[in-house]
Amino acid sequence: MNASALDRELTAKEDDAGASTGPGRSGVLPIAAWVVLCGLLPLVAVWYSVGDVVLGDAQAADFRFAYYPAAEAVLDGGALYPEEGLVQRGADGLIVDYVYPPLTAMLVTPLTVLSVSYAEAVFVLLLLLVSFATLAVLGVRDWRCYGLALLWLPVTDGISTGNMSIVLAFAAALAWRLRDRPLGVGASVGLSLGLKILLWPLVAWLAGTRRLAAAWWSIAVGLVAALGSWAIVGFEGIADYPDLARSAGERQDQLGYTVYALGLDLGLASTPARALWLALAVSLLAATLVAGRRGHDQRAFVLALATAIAFSPVVWLHYFSILLVVVAIAQPRLGALWFVGLPLHVVVTTRVYNGSTFQTATVLLLEALVVVLALRRLERVPSRAPVSSPAAARS
């Protein structure tokens, strides 16, 4: 059975289950309640997080202070990266200069025909559409899921700050949809690596599931995207880029939602806290490879996405929007898994960066719970046999 046929079979099973036991059809809630919960409340959330950027005075910080100036620098031949050290910007003092590969800036260059205020409004609206496209690519047809996605604070936070995390989630969704087309999945993963190296564990997922051709395509496309975009800017800053990225991480790694930051909050010294963070990330990577080798395709993919977040030295709240892909794969119809992330609205008040020890720990536990529950659901899904021959891997 090929991947698309398996997807149709699983979706049909979800539809059958939803028809008999799903919310809204079983009489658990009347239709009016679902309209309020999955229609009106998401509209309020979007208005609160995105409306003020489009129509008010709020700023999409990442777009305004990083992407847009870098796009102008690409067009004007100016300095893409800071020449005298990182500069803090923004009202909270946490937004720094552009520290991404050039490809991200190049994608934003068409918007520089507009003023920064109009450009960021267009950009956040595009991110809103991309978040919907992510679910559509994964075969989510239940309208309530689209509404609840906008109640996930990581999603609305990624949109309102104008960050590329939503785009990376879409790339991950495409990678899953095109997983048995080596060039297609390779382009999806490779281009995401050209934007930001965050999703590199997807290459391990491809290798672990014996999609070797796709893994090589991912690496090749990623290298071409990165080096090609740097060539366009005359390789400006490429030699110093590793130090720049490391410096940005060191200045902010205590402020994100990571095991390292939590360890520091709990009183651990930097070295053991970092060792704990690395041990978790390596364990998830090993689990990804083992699941892939055993033919558990969906579980390996979910673990790869969790590994991507776990390995990142700095994790802002919007990074967890990538887990929207995990939920959509594990439960394409509305169910309990779609509600796990909603408590973030209650326990998180600092949005992008972490807050108290309780807030950091609670967010990490909730996101871990999303992954664990998704994996448990997928245990009941028939595994797809891994590609077993080189000829099959190239097909």
Tens digit of each residue's pLDDT (9 = 90 or more) over 206-242: 999 999 999 999 999 999 999 999 999 999 889 888 8
Collapsed DSSP state (helix, strand, coil) of residue 329: helix
How much is the average pLDDT of 362-391? Answer: 76
Average pLDDT of 85-104?
A: 72
111 or 19: which leads in pLDDT: 111
Q: Are 119 and 244 in contact (CB under 8 A)?
A: no
- The set of residues, in sequence order, having a beta carbon less than 8 Å from that of 273 and lying 6+ positions away, is 259, 260, 263, 264
Which pLDDT band holds residue 351 (cuts at 50, 70, 90)?
confident
pLDDT at 20 exceeding the cut of 50: no
CA 102 to chain centre: 19
- Compute CA distances 320 → 205, 257, 275, whole Å: 19, 10, 22
pLDDT tens for residues 100-131? 999 999 999 999 999 999 999 999 999 999 99
Backbone conformation region of residue 82, classed left if phi is above 0, alpha if psi is from -120 to 50, else beta: beta
Lowest mean pLDDT among 18-32, 118-132, 182-196, 240-254: 18-32
pLDDT at 95: 58
Helices (H), 151-181: 153-160, 165-177
pLDDT at residue number 84: 66
* Residue 59 to residues 52, 53, 162, 164, 371, Cα–Cα distance (Å): 8, 6, 9, 15, 32
The 10s digit of each residue's pLDDT in 266-313 is 999 999 999 999 999 999 999 999 999 999 999 999 999 999 999 999
